[in-house]
Amino acid sequence: MNKIKRGKFIVFEGIDGSGKGTQIDLLVKEIKRQGGNVVQTAEPTNTSTGGMLRDALGGFVRRDAYELSAMFLTDRIFHNVNPINGIMQYLEQGLDVICDRYYYSSFAYQGTDADLEWVMRMNLDCKEILRPDLCIFLDIDTDTGDKRIADNRQQREIYENKEKQQAIRNRFFDVFRLLEDTENIKIVDASRTIPEVSADIIKIYNEIKEK
């Protein structure tokens, strides 16, 4: 009996308004067009912890960056190990997993207000948290992101203002420099047209899918 080939774990990151949802949908369609099997997921998850995180991000409950970091860690561990629809389970079944945000967001968002090394170490040193095969960072400037948020959101989350987004974008690049020797991170200019960005992402995916 042939062993099932493990799927690829791909994470999309970016500041708010970068177009992750649109590009994830397009990549999923392309993978299916190629005959692949793929599942979409996101953080925060749809668990009770994820619900508490969404309440905090929406500004309904106040929590500091350290508390948010720990809650995201708990949510992320379950996201990985859940035996029914966890990341590890899907990958072992041979499905590609496309995740909207992962620990890079914890590093960039909570890592602007909490101790960055602490946030990174508790994620990277946890054996129940997988390292992605690929992280695609959709890069836009904060003016573009702010305009997209204004056009598409009725209510902003706690991080969705230009000053915070600039600090978060800077922190993402700080983190990428720290991880450049250990993680496969591709930065894509997301200020271009949707088809142009999608074409770059599909090319990146095709380069890793057979590895």
> What is the per-residue pLDDT across 150-171, written as a single tens digit (0 to 9) for each?
877 778 888 878 889 999 999 9
- What pLDDT does 2 receive? 65
Query: Is residue 1 predicted with pLDDT exceeding 60?
Result: no
For the segment 89-104, the average pLDDT, to the nearest whole number, is 97
- What pLDDT does 151 receive? 79
d(CA 42, CA 24): 11
Return the structure tokens found at 5. 């080939």
Burial of 17 from C-beta contacts in 10 A (0-12 / 13-18 / 19+): buried
**Which of these ranges, 12-21, 139-148, 173-182, has the smallest mean pLDDT?**
139-148
3-class state of residue 12 by DSSP: strand
pLDDT band of residue 7 (cuts 50, 70, 90) is very high
d(CA 61, CA 53): 9
For the segment 180-190, the average pLDDT, to the nearest whole number, is 97
pTM for the complete prediction? 0.94
d(CA 161, CA 142): 9
Query: Is residue 3 predicted with pLDDT exceeding 90?
Result: no
CATH of domain 9-208: 3.40.50.300
